[in-house]
Chain A
Amino acid sequence: MTEFDAATAAVQAALDAGARYADARVMHRRYESMSARNGDIEELLQDESIGLGVRALVGSSWGFHAVPELSDAAAREAGRRAARTAAASGRVSGPPIDLVPVEATTASWASGCEVDPLGVPLSDKGDLLVRATGTIREHGADLAEGLYQIWDTAKWFVSSEGHRIDQRIRECGGGISATSIGDGETQRRSYPSYRGQYGTTGWELVTSLDLAAHAARIAEESRALLTAPACPAGELDLILGSEQLALQIHESVGHAIELDRILGWEAAFAGTSWLDLAQLGSLRYGSDLMTVTIDPTIPGALGSFGFDDEGSPAVKRDAVREGRWVGVLAGRDSAAVAGLDYGGSVRADGWARLPMVRMTNVGLEPGPHTLDEIIAATDDGVLMDVNRSWSIDDKRLNFQFGCEIGWEVKKGRRGRMLRNPTYTGIGPLFWRSMDMLSSEVVPWGTPNCGKGQPGQIGHTGHPAAPARFRNVRVGVRA
Chain B
Amino acid sequence: MTELDIAGRVVELVRRLAGPDAQAEAVVTRADLALTRFANSFIHQNVAESGVAVRLRMHVDGRTAAGSGSLVDADGLRALVERTLAAARLCPPDPAWPGLTPPSPVPSGAVFDEATAYAEPDERAARVRAFVDAVGGLEAAGYCRTAYRSGAFANSAGHSAQGRTAEAAMDGIARTGGSDGVARHCADRLADLDGAALGTRAAAKARAAVDPVELPPGRYEVVLEPAAVADLLQNFSWYGFNGKRYAERQSFAEPGTAQFDPAVTLVDDPLHGSTLPYDVEGAVRRALTLVDAGITAGVAHDRRSGAEAGTGSTGHGMPGASTFGPMPRNLRLLPATGGDLAAGDLGTAGTTGGVGAVADPDTAALVAGVERGLLVSDFWYTRVLDPKRLVITGLTRNGVWLVEDGVPTRPVRDFRFTESYPRALGPGAVLGVGQRPARMPDRTDGVWWEAPPLRLAAWNFTGGASG
Residues of chain A having any CB pair with chain B under 8 Å: 35, 40-51, 53, 61-68, 81, 84-86, 88-89, 91-95, 121-123, 126, 130, 142-143, 179, 181, 184-186, 263-269, 271, 352-354, 356, 388-394, 397-398, 400, 402, 420, 422, 424-426, 429, 453-455, 473, 476-478
Contact = CB atoms under 8 A, between A and B. Distances in A.
B40 A264 contact: yes
A91 B122 CA distance: 8
Contact of A85 (B47, B92, B397, B467): B47
Contacts, number: 257
Contacts of A389: 383-385, 393
Interface of B: 33, 35-52, 65-71, 76, 79-80, 83-84, 86-87, 90-92, 120-122, 124-126, 128-129, 132, 139, 141-143, 145, 171-173, 175, 180, 248-250, 322-323, 380-389, 391, 393-395, 397, 414, 416, 418-420, 423, 443-444, 460, 462-463, 465-467
A396 to B, nearest CB: 10
Contacts of A268: 39, 141-143, 171-173
Name, among A179, A264, A397, the residue most crowded by chain B CB atoms within 10 Å (CB to CB).
A264
Contacts of B128: 91-92
Contacts of B389: 184-185, 478
Contact of B388 (A91, A185, A394, A424): A185
Contacts of B141: 264, 267-268
Contact of B83 (A46, A93, A94): A46
18 contacts: A44-B65, A68-B52, A85-B47, A88-B43, A91-B122, A93-B42, A122-B86, A185-B389, A186-B387, A265-B39, A267-B39, A267-B141, A268-B39, A353-B49, A397-B465, A424-B462, A426-B467, A455-B444
B157 to A, nearest CB: 22
Give the interface SS of chain B, mostly helix, strand, loop or mixed: strand
B41 A92 contact: yes
Contacts of A48: 68-71, 76, 79-80
Given A46-B87, A267-B175, A477 B418 contact: yes
Given A265-B39, A424-B463, A67 B50 contact: yes
B373 to A, nearest CB: 19
A388 B84 CA distance: 34
Given A89-B121, A453-B37, A454-B33, 8 more contacts: A50-B70, A88-B125, A92-B38, A92-B125, A92-B129, A353-B49, A356-B45, A454-B47
Contact of A65 (B48, B132, B172): B48
Given A89-B43, A91-B43, A394 B50 contact: no
Given A46-B87, A64-B48, A65-B48, A398 B43 contact: no
Contacts of B80: 48
A68 B50 CA distance: 7
Contacts of B69: 47-49
A185 to B, nearest CB: 5
Contacts of A50: 70-71
| The 6 A-B residue pairs with the shortest CB-CB distance in the complex, in nearest-first order | A94-B42, A88-B121, A268-B141, A43-B322, A66-B49, A89-B43
B249 to A, nearest CB: 5
Contact of A47 (B36, B67, B444): B67
Contact of B124 (A40, A86, A88, A354): A88
Contacts of B381: 391-394
A477 B391 CA distance: 9
A62 to B, nearest CB: 6
A88 B48 contact: no
Given A40-B92, A92-B132, A398 B443 contact: no
B167 to A, nearest CB: 13
A398 B418 contact: no
Contacts of B172: 268
Nearest to B66: A45
B132 A400 contact: no
A123 B90 CA distance: 6
Contact of A91 (B52, B125, B414, B416): B125
B322 A185 contact: no
A45 to B, nearest CB: 6
Contacts of B387: 186
A35 B322 CA distance: 9
A242 to B, nearest CB: 21
B91 A44 contact: yes
A265 B248 CA distance: 41
A159 to B, nearest CB: 18
A268 B181 CA distance: 10
A53 B45 CA distance: 14
B395 A398 contact: yes
Nearest to A188: B387
B40 A94 contact: yes
Contacts of B463: 398, 400, 424, 476
A264 B466 contact: no
Contact of A478 (B36, B460, B466): B460
A412 to B, nearest CB: 28
B46 A62 contact: yes
B48 A46 contact: no
Contacts of A42: 322-323
Contact of A51 (B43, B51, B391, B397): B51
Given A185-B386, A186-B250, A389-B385, A61 B39 contact: no
B43 A64 contact: no
A388 B45 CA distance: 34
Given A68-B52, A453-B443, A400 B121 contact: no
A200 B76 CA distance: 27
Contacts of B39: 264-268
